[in-house]
Structure 1
Amino acid sequence: MAIEFNRILTLLRKERGITQKQAAQDLGISQAQLSHYEKGIRECSLAFVVQVADYYGVSCDYLLGRSAERSGQTIRVDELPDTGSSTSGSVYRGSVLPTMYKKLIANSLDILYDKLQESGDKQLVTQVSRYLMLAVYKMFRRLHDASPKNVAGMFRVGAARWQGGADAAMRLTEAELAAILNGEDGNRDCLDPATMALSTERLTRDYPRHATSLLNLVKNAEEAMRGLQQAE
């Protein structure tokens, strides 16, 4: 509980824009005690979890990291908005799981590209798109190469070079993205800070139909990263 609770407890306070002192006063505890909870030094009682959930207007499941939704809602594939393609729907080729993941990714990309459009930066759009295309290329190429019956003529880059080439291109693209966002090419002032304001509260408000997908994508991605950390 501690890892997720202390992170989300701190996040909610900062998103509301209040000091630790103010939050502690409202919750009826000392600032030192709240600081310990936010840092994960001390475990709180279940009663305090409920109190915090009421204070910030979220569910206990969200506070404990059991749900990516502030309401604690459990995601269902038929509740996610369709992506609009010919393969949209509650079931993709007889299976719910591919449809679920497809919707999570497609709906998250809708938010991503909406923010990119707000930025008005063509270089940023180009580099983000290049990175995503390379990621899709790598997955498709792996699936293609898994079957010896597939002919190699579909690709111009040979089997010995494609993986290293794709990895290098992705790293270069990430470097270009970092340079753009850090203003190294003289465009530091072209990105409106408001465009990059991405709190869970704002995302839920601005994208009521798609935020569920993005928040669950983030949760799934971080669970995968934690799995790697635990395996080391």
Structure 2
Amino acid sequence: MSSEFSRTLSLLRQEKGVSQRAAAGELGISQALLSHYENGIREPGLRFVVRACDYYGVSADFILGRTLSREGNMLTEQDILDAAEPKSTLRGSVLATLQSKLLSGAVGVLFELLGKLGDKTLINAAAAYLGSAVYQLYRHLYRSSGANEGYFALDPAAWELGLADADRKLSQVRYAEALRELKAKKAEFPDLSSPAINAAYPGRCQSLTQVLSTTDARLVAFSREKK
């Protein structure tokens, strides 16, 4: 069984705010056995999975890590917007897990498509762009936590001037240039039509679609605000 199951099972119990002993009692098993399930030491049978779905009010696909929606469907833009609200049931570690799944799935599809083009410059530029974004977000978190910023070699003053932003923009330029060169060489690009993507990446394609549609909607709203 997927390791996603044990992690999701534990997160759902924590979100519900019940102890392992209480949850085990409601689910009709011992606390020790539930602990084994939550830590991935043992795999449960189908009957337990069904009981857990009923107890936590989620779909089997969700608890098994096959979908990002509790009801078994793809998350909508509004689902994600609602999840960011303080009173939403999707919050904290559960929300972080869902967002992580969305992004990791989308990035995985992107790099597999880039790999089909076989261009080292293109792949490295994409990796540099995303790596710089992660660096910047993590460094903000690191600084806010009060940790020693000497961990980073880049001087704080240089970072504060937007060096990471500049690096990301340069990576984007290199990425676009590599694509132009491939197009000029009449390289064979992968089929990016919806049917082709759905067929090639079943399951993960919904992560890519969701990230693209949610971001697109956010940018459209932002562009309208500026008019």
Name the TM-score class by shorter chain.
0.5 to 0.7
Structure 1 residue 214 displacement after superposition: 0.6
* 1:42-61 map, 5 Å: none
Structure 1 residue 192 displacement after superposition: 1.3
**Aligned equivalent of 2:208, options 204, 214, 218:** 214
What is residue 155 of structure 2 aligned with on the other side? 158
Query: Runs of 5+ in structure 2 lacking a partner?
Result: 1-66, 74-89
SS at match of 2:154: coil
Structure 1 residue 220 displacement after superposition: 1.3
- Residue by residue over 1:47-85, the C-alpha shift from the partner in whole angstroms, topping out at 9 and shown as x without a partner, is xxxxxxxxxxxxxxxxxxxxxxxxxxx9515859xxxxx
Contact (CA 8 Å) 1:128, 1:177: kept in 2 or not?
yes
Instruction: Say what the alpha-carbon RMSD is for the aligned residues.
Output: 2.9
What is residue 173 of structure 1 aligned with on the other side? 171
- Residue by residue over 1:170-204, the C-alpha shift from the partner in whole angstroms, topping out at 9 and shown as x without a partner, is 11111111111111xx88327313x2x31222211
Letter of the 1:153 partner, please give it: G
Contact (CA 8 Å) 2:132, 2:168: kept in 1 or not?
yes
Contact (CA 8 Å) 2:68, 2:102: kept in 1 or not?
no
Matched residues in 1 for 2:170 and 2:92: separation?
39
Matched residues in 1 for 2:105 and 2:70: separation?
12
Structure 1 residue 157 displacement after superposition: 1.3
Q: What TM-score results when the alignment is normalised by the length of structure 1?
A: 0.55
Matched residues in 2 for 1:141 and 1:190: separation?
41
Contact (CA 8 Å) 1:121, 1:190: kept in 2 or not?
no
**Aligned equivalent of 2:220, options 210, 226, 232:** 226
Matched, 1:118 2:116: yes
Structure 1 residue 228 displacement after superposition: 1.7
- Residue by residue over 1:85-132, the C-alpha shift from the partner in whole angstroms, topping out at 9 and shown as x without a partner, is xxxxxxx99732111111111111111111121111111111111111
Letter of the 2:117 partner, please give it: S
Q: Identity across aligned pairs (percent)?
A: 28
**Bigger proportion of residues as helix:** 2
